Structure 1
Amino acid sequence: MIHITGETGLTGLLGSPVAHSISPLMHNYSFQSLGLDYVYLCFDVKEQGLKDAVQGLRALNVKGFNLTMPDKNKVLEHLDELSCAARLIGAVNTVENRDGRLIGHNTDGIGFMRSVAEQGLEMKGKTMTLLGAGGAATAICAQAALDGVAHMHIFLRSTSSHLSRMEALAENLSVETGCKFQIHDIRDLQTLEHAVRESTLLVNATSVGMAPRPDTCILPEDFAFPAALSVADIIYNPWETRLLSLAKKAGCKTFNGYGMLLYQGAEAFRIWTGREMPMKQVREYLQTDF
C-alpha cells in the first residue's frame, strides 16, 4: 500500500488516453522500494486543457510530470526551459520542477539508446538506419546523434507530412554533432538494402506491426537482412513483431521496445529524485503483473 504523508511529492502523467499506462506501476513500485516519499498518478488531460493543467501543477509545486500524446508538443509554450534534446526534437515527455522553474526534457531517445547499450551494441562512430519520422523517430534520431552515431540513413515516405520537420532536424543535428544524415524514400528498396549493409543497427520507429495488426511489416517478406545487422523495433505489443521475426530468421540480433519504455521512465525517475530506478526489481515486478 502507498503511504501518503503531508510531505509526499507528486509526480504523474498527462495525456489522453492514459488509463493503459504502466508508468504508475513502475514509478510507485520504485518509490516504495527506495523508501522515497513520492506518488505517481495519471491525469487524462486533452490538448485544450493542457495550459490549465500545467498552471495548476506549477501552483501545487509538484516534483515533475510526464507527458504523452497529444500533449508532448503543445506543452513547450508553457515551460521555462528546455534540455538540449527537447529543444532539438521540439517535444517534451518529462518535466522537472526545479525551484519553481519548469524544465522540459525528452527521455525517449535516452531510453532507446540505453536499451541499445543493454544489448551490448556500441554505436559511437557507427552507422544506423532509421525507419520513420514521427515523435519516437525524431527522439531516437536526436539522441543517437548526440551519443556519437557518425552516419544515419533515415527512410520515410517522400509524401510524409513529417518530411520537412525531419530535414530541419537533420540539418540542425549535423551542425551540432557532426553526424552525417541522408534522407531517403522508404519505397526505394535498393537504397534501403544498401543502407542496412553498411549499418550496425536498423530501427523501426513506426507503428507498423503493432497490435491490433501484428501481421503487418514495414519491410517486404523477402528483404535481405545481413546476418551481422542488429534490428530493433520500438513496438513491444506484440512482443516479437513480424519484422523482428524475419530478422531473427536471417541470423540478426533483435530486440523490441520494452527496454526503451523502461529506460525512458528510469531517466525521468532520475531527473525527479536524483536516484537510479531499481531496474532489475522493476522488470521482475512488471512481469508478475502482465
Structure 2
Amino acid sequence: MKKLLLILLAITATFTVNAQIVTPQPSPFSKVEQKVGLTDVTLEYSRPSVRERTIFGDLVPYGKVWRTGANARTKITFSTDVTVDGQTLKAGTYAIFTKPEAEKWEVYFYSDYSGGGVPQEWDDTKVAAKTMAESHQIPFNVETFTIDINAITNNDARIEFIWEKTFVGVTFNVPTDDMVLANINDAMNGTPTANDYYAAAIYYLQEGKDIKQAKTWIDKAIAMAGDKVQFWQLRQQSLIYAKAGDKKGAIAAAKKSLTASEAAGNADYVKMNKDSLKEWGGM
C-alpha cells in the first residue's frame, strides 16, 4: 500500500512540475531586420491592438512619454554609427520612447534599453538623440501597432510608427558613402579584381560620381572578364558610356548585351537593351 501511495505521489509531482499552459500573448513580440546601405538595423518590439479602443489621446495620453509598444522596451540596434536630425547615434542598441501629440511626436533614442515601460526616473543624460516628427492621419484603421523601416536608399531610411489612424516617420542617415569609398580605395590600392572594378564602376554610376572614372573601371572589368563577360555587365557598360556622353560606345555595348541576353533567354534585358538602343538611335 505504501509503495502504491509513493508511486501516485511521484506521478502527481511529475504532472505538477511539467504541466504548463501556453497561451497567446495579447501583444505579440515582433522582430524586424533590415539592411540600409551597409548598416544592419534591427527592431524588437511588442504589438498591442486597438480592440475597439481609442488609442491616441486616450489609451496613449497626449503629452506623456510612451514606451512605444507594449511589454519590454522597444529596442533598435544599429551596426554602424547613424545620424538622426543631425545628431550622431553611435553603433549599438537604444530604447525608443515617444511623446505623442495630436499633430507631432517627440521621439527619443534612450541609451538604457533594458527593462519594461518608461523609466521611473527619466534621465536626460541617457537621451542619445531626439527629434520632432509630424503626426499624419491616414484614411484607414491599422488594428495592430506597427513599426517598420521604409523609404530605403543607400544613404538613409525612415522608421515608421503606424497605429489606429496615425502615421509618424523618423528619417535616419547611414554612412554608406564613406564606407564604400574607403572600401574602393583599399581595393584599388591593392590588387583589384574584375569584380572590384565592376562594383566600383556601378557605385559611381548609381551615386552620380565621376563618370569618367566609372568608365575606366568598367572597361577594365569587361576586359578582365574576357569571353566570360555577362549580358548584365555589358548592359551596365552601355549605361556608363551613355552617361559619359559616348553614345557610339553605348550603342556598341548595348548591342553586345542584347545579343547575349537573347541567347540567355532573358526577356527583361532584351527589352531594356532594345529600349535603350531606340532611345540612342541604335535601331
User: Do the structures match in fold with TM over 0.5?
Assistant: no
| Greater percentage in strand | 2
User: TM-score if structure 2 supplies the norm length?
Assistant: 0.25
RCO higher in structure (CA 8 A, sep ≥6): 1
Larger radius of gyration: 2
